[in-house]
Chains A and B, each alone.
Chain A
Amino acid sequence: MPVPVPVGVLRLPRGPDGCSRGFSPASPRFQALLGGDAAAQGVRAALRQRYLRGLAAARGRPTRFCLRAGVRVDAVFGAADVEAVAFQVDALRTPLGVQAAALLRCTDVLAYSFLLD
């Protein structure tokens, strides 16, 4: 009785790449269904990069924050979290005194400005 021969296989199924969640924008399906707006995507990427560089430039500099209800405070810019939910600042000058370190809610911040060298 001849031994049954196993069906040949070209390769094994590819598994997760271990470093990303997948859904590659390079896939034909992604390109066809979602990738049409390449120009807008490029503009968004450039604006995002400019924003991040702006945050980096602000670090350590005296910054004026315009908050809601006409409130203005001065502080030394520290850091922002990844989703810009909060800004960490040092030496926040408030009517009640100077806070050594504080968090400002970004939803409360209308504008902020600092001097470049």
Chain B
Amino acid sequence: MAMRQTPLTCSGHTRPVVDLAFSGVTPYGYFLISACKDGKPMLRQGDTGDWIGTFLGHKGAVWGATLNTDATKAATAAADFTAKVWDAVSGDELITLAHKHIVKSVDFTQDSNYLLTGGQDKLLRIYDLSKPEAEPDVVSGHTSGIKKALWSSDDKQILSADDKTVRLWDRSTMTEVKALNVAMSVSSMEYVPEGQILVITYGKTIAFHSAETLEQIKSFEAPATINSASLHPAKECLVAGGEDFKLYKYDYNTGEELESYKGHFGPIHCVRFSPDGELYASGSEDGTLRLWQTTVGKTYGLWKCVVPEEENAEAAKARTTLPGTAEEEIEDLASENSDSVYSSTPEVKA
């Protein structure tokens, strides 16, 4: 039975959504934070997209947002030259960390005790959140503005990307371990702890590198400039989105393009898989977030595969607009057509 992807649109932002991040799985499900140029990052329930709250306080566009593993804290990076730490349960602002320029990226250590920031002043800063008044540890070396900074190797190392390089730093010595020169401007970076994989996008390329050696594992070329990509937790597939407003899904092992979806009305700036891999979220210039199913047709979150009770095949065939049909009807449809019911999906308009 051919099922068509139904993306769930989360509205609320009034300007482009430039970053998004999922928390880990908590006893209350998992959560999603979105960074927006309207300065008002939002927290949502991860599996439904339901709005939970808006973090109010920034005075400029928010460029980066993240949640700690249990979604009790959030951190945001903004154009008002501050990074802020928030209580993600009450929505209260906890700490404001002043910087000397636009802050672009924030990342918690796994124990939530330290916050890494990076931005246009080309410096990486490590804040001890138990002593926010204290001066942060500063790591210098980047020669252009930092776009993304992430903890890696169990928080013993730091990965950071600026316009043309990706660098690996040792946290204890605060020195550079390795640097990678990238052919074109790095648009995004994702760190996958299991397997120590680094996902980088630049131009039309989606590249996978070892997070320990920065050696390239493999890379794929997309039909358009890609702004963000995410690897499925089980590493079976990856999703990517960019300037042509479309989302692409690839087989990680073969590089085969599995699906592509239209739906956004503007370039896609960020895309991330949920921690359980059942869905992925995309944020766009059009100001919306969309949630997409990894397995189209599966009952999960707000998606429901409706199977009607016994009815005759004629009535079922006549209803082409309602979702889902019983097994016998699928076979009836299949036998009537010489073509296979579900061939490889070409570009599907969502």
Contact = CB atoms under 8 A, between A and B. Distances in A.
* Residue of A21, A24, A32 most packed against chain B (CB within 10 A): A21
A9 B302 contact: yes
Interface in A24-82: 24, 27-30, 32-34
A5 B333 contact: no
B50 A7 contact: no
Contacts of A11: 302
B324 interface: yes
A97 interface: no
A109 to B, nearest CB: 27
B78 to A, nearest CB: 17
B180 interface: no
Contacts of A95: none
B91 A22 contact: yes
Interface stretch (B4-12, B146-154, B219-227, B245-253): B4-12
B10 to A, nearest CB: 5
B4 A6 contact: yes
A5 B304 contact: no
Q: Is the interface of A mostly helix, strand, loop or mixed?
A: loop
Interface in B1-20: 1-6, 8-12
A9 B54 contact: no
A8 B51 contact: no
Contact of A7 (B72, B91, B293): B293
A84 interface: no
Contacts of B9: 12-13
By Cβ-Cβ distance, the 9 closest A-B pairs, closest first, are A22-B53, A13-B49, A23-B91, A8-B323, A23-B53, A4-B2, A4-B4, A14-B50, A7-B6
Contacts of A34: 89-90
B10 A15 contact: yes
Contact of A23 (B49, B90, B337): B90
Given A4-B348, A7-B305, A23-B53, A16 B12 contact: yes
A30 B89 CA distance: 6
B297 interface: yes
Interface range, A side: 20 to 34
Nearest to B52: A22
A82 to B, nearest CB: 16
B271 interface: no
Contacts of B55: 21
A2 B1 CA distance: 9
A2 B337 contact: yes
Contact of A15 (B11, B56, B304, B320): B11
A10 interface: yes
A107 to B, nearest CB: 20
A32 B89 CA distance: 10
Contact of B54 (A4, A22, A24): A22
A9 B1 CA distance: 17
Contacts of A33: 72, 89
A96 interface: no
A16 B324 contact: no
A23 B89 contact: yes
A97 B337 CA distance: 100
B89 A2 contact: no
28 contacts: A1-B339, A2-B341, A4-B3, A5-B320, A5-B321, A5-B324, A5-B325, A7-B4, A7-B293, A7-B297, A7-B305, A8-B6, A13-B8, A13-B50, A13-B291, A13-B302, A15-B12, A21-B54, A21-B56, A21-B91, A22-B43, A22-B51, A22-B54, A22-B91, A23-B43, A29-B28, A32-B28, A33-B89
B296 interface: yes
A3 interface: yes
B323 A15 contact: no
Nearest to B330: A2
